[in-house]
Each structure stands twice: as C-alpha cells, then as structure tokens.
Structure 1
Amino acid sequence: MPSDALRRALTDPGPRPLPDEAARLLEDLDAPPRLAAHLRAVHDVAADLLAWVAGRYPALAVDGDAVLFGAATHDIGKALYPEELSGPGSRHEAAGHALLRERGVEERLARFARTHASWDGPGIGADDLLVSLADKVWKAKRVPDLEQRVVDVLAAASGAEKWEVFMELDDACDRLAAGADGRLAFQSAYPVVA
C-alpha cells in the first residue's frame, strides 16, 4: 500500500501526472515520494520538448509514448537505491532497467532507465536523447555535448542548417529552464523516505 506522501507526490497540483502504468509501478514499489515528484518534473519537461519537436521538426521520427514513459520511469531504480536521490550514484540505472523488465515492461520502454545517463553511447537515438535532455533541463542544467547531439539529429531529420537548429533548441531549452525553480521546489516538498 503506497504511503500518503507518495500519493500526494503523484497527485498534487504541479507538473503533469505520470502515465497510469508508471504511477502504478511507483505505487507497487511504494517508491520514495521525492522520486515520484522528480519523475513528474522530468516527464512534464519531456512532454513540452515533444510538443516543441512536433511543431518545429515534424519530420523527426519520435515515439512520443516511449519518450513520455521513459521520462516517467528513467530513475525508477532509485526506488531500490534511495540514497541516489540525494547523492551521486549510478547503480539505479541497471537496477531500474532490470526492475522494469522483470515487471513485464517491454524493452523499447524499459531501456530509458539505462540510457538516460549514457546519451553519448552507441545506439542512442532521438527518443533516448529527448529523455536525457529533459532529465537535465528540468533543473536548468545545460549540457552542450548533449544539446549538440540533439541538434545533429534534428538537423539531419529536417535538412535545416545546424546553426539554425542550435538557435531554436537553445531558445527552447532557455524557456524550459526558466521553470526550474518551481520544479525544484515541487520536488523538494516531498521526503526522500515516506
């Protein structure tokens, strides 16, 4: 049975609600409330990024449902390693992927738990990059190499000049980063442990 704090983190006004399947997984795990709040914040930014990409770069093939689910579950392994909610660590990545697969989540959706921090690795596609970008920009963190990878993908899909894409992505990230204080306050309002 999920704690009251977790229920509040999943339903309180603020960032968009998580996809139902992601919320159920967090409830089943009685996940830390702060994790649920974090996932809502990243999911919210991912939804805004998807809308921006669809409006500006419709030729880019993106699996929007996968990106949203990935953003909503990318750190689910922190339910097993809650110390990584307030400190460094990467054990949650492989653990989260394994947890999702064990619970029947298909690979196209579970992969984000292991790829969100390895965006510069081989085989990383547009969907993975968008989840990784959302996981940075939600707190106003800008990662030039990651953003350049996104620029490259958008330019290749659209045929636009990279400098032009860079300027548009930079504006979009600035706009999203402007809401970071509110998202950080939302996340901080929930305890790491219920």
Structure 2
Amino acid sequence: MPAAAILSLALDDLDAPPLRPLPGPVAELLARLAAPPRLVAHLRAVHDVAVRLVDELTQRFPDLEVDRQAVLFGAATHDIGKVRHRAELSGPGSAHEPAGRDLLLAEGVAPGLARFAATHAAWGGPEIRIEDLLVSLADKVWKNRRVRELEDPVVARLATGGREQWEVFLEVDDVLGEIGAGADARLAFQGAYPVV
C-alpha cells in the first residue's frame, strides 16, 4: 500500500477503536509534512483521550477554567517534532520537543499553541498552565500510564472551592481509570501503522 494511502488511513480510519479524527488544520499540516503514519496514529489516540479527559474533568469540576481548544490542539500536535526526529518515534529522545515548537511557529501557529510541543514533557515551573498539564496527562493515560509527579499538580490545581485534595484525587483517579481502560485498543491501533 502506498505511503499516502497508509497516512490517509491513520488520519481517517473510524473503525475500532473509534477515535475522533484530528482537527482539519492539523490533519492537513501532517499530510503536507508527510508525517509518518505511526506518528499520526499516536496523535489521534492522544487527541481522542484529551477530548475525553477535558470533557470529563470540566463536568466533574465546573469551576475549572481551561482553554479546551488549546488542550485539544496541543494533544493533536505535541509530538509533531518527530517529523524531523524520526528516530524518536521508536526510541528515546527529546530533540523533537523544541523542534516541534519551532516547526509549528514556522507554519504560522501562534506561540501560545506551539508551546505544547515543547512543554508536554515538562511539568514544573511557573509558566506551566493547567492546559500544559492536561496535554501531558493525555499523553500518558492514552496508554494507561500513571505518573504521580504529573497527576499531583493536576489534583492541586483542581482542589479549589473548598474541595479536599483527597476527594479531588479520587475523582481524577476515576477519570484516568476509565480512560486508561481503553489503552490496549489504542496501542493496537497505533501499532498497526508503520514508523516510516
């Protein structure tokens, strides 16, 4: 099957697991960059999880002020730098993080949205917002990976309005458990696409 056809499947396949398509402008950008199908499948899985995560958290925590569209864009593009650093598709590395931000900026993406490519692996510091944490969380829970050092700051930011942190932790734990339960299907979806 030609690479363009495989990429199209990764972008548009609506079969099991039923993952939401990537936002149109992101899908167009990935096609224009000839992104590896495995990367596109990964971005779809993380984007789908981000939709579920943000929707569930805003329902359970109505006082949560979050830029939903920013989180979804960030989830859909967080690893875009792997277009330039393809070895990081199957191995470790962080060169894709600043490269992704720079690539998005070069494509005319606003700095406030391009930042997610660089911040999805950074959870500390005063410049990290709830949106950054949620993109990072979606990038972990899509494969049912739990990272306390990431979850703790999310819980702390949600524990407002008189809610105890332990109570918030239980709510977040429920959400992450429910979403994480679909990890095997998402991993199989991603694994079905070639790295190159």
Q: Normalising by structure 2, what TM-score? A: 0.95
The answer for the alignment partner of 2:174 in structure 1 is 171
| 1:50-89 → structure 2 map (5 Å cutoff) | 50-89=54-93
Identify the match of residue 27 of structure 1 among 28, 31, 37. 31
Question: Where does structure 2 lack aligned partners over 5 or more consecutive residues?
Answer: none
How far off its partner does 1:144 sit? 0.6
Distance in 2 between residues matched to 1:3 and 1:119, nearest whole Å: 36
Secondary structure at the residue paired with 2:159? helix
2:194 alignment counterpart: 191
> What is the identity percentage for the equivalent residue pairs of Structure 1 and Structure 2?
61
Q: Does 2:128 correspond to 1:124?
A: yes
Equivalences, count: 192
Deviation at 1:56, TM superposition (A): 0.8
Partner of 2:141: 137
Q: Which residues of structure 1 form unaligned runs of 5+?
A: none
Q: Are 2:102 and 1:101 equivalent residues in the alignment?
A: no
Partner of 1:153: 157
Equivalent residue letter for 2:147: V
- Which runs of structure 1 show a deviation greater than 4 angstroms over 4 or more consecutive aligned residues? none
Rounded to whole Å, the distance in 2 between the matches of 1:36 and 1:75 is 9
1:29-44 pair list within 5 angstroms = 29-44=33-48
TM-score, length of structure 1 as denominator length: 0.96
Distance 1:62 1:73 in 2: 18
Aligned-residue Cα RMSD (Å) equals 1.3
Give me the whole-angstrom Cα distance separating, in 2, the residues matched to 1:132 and 1:119: 8
Superposition deviation, residue 189 in structure 1? 0.5
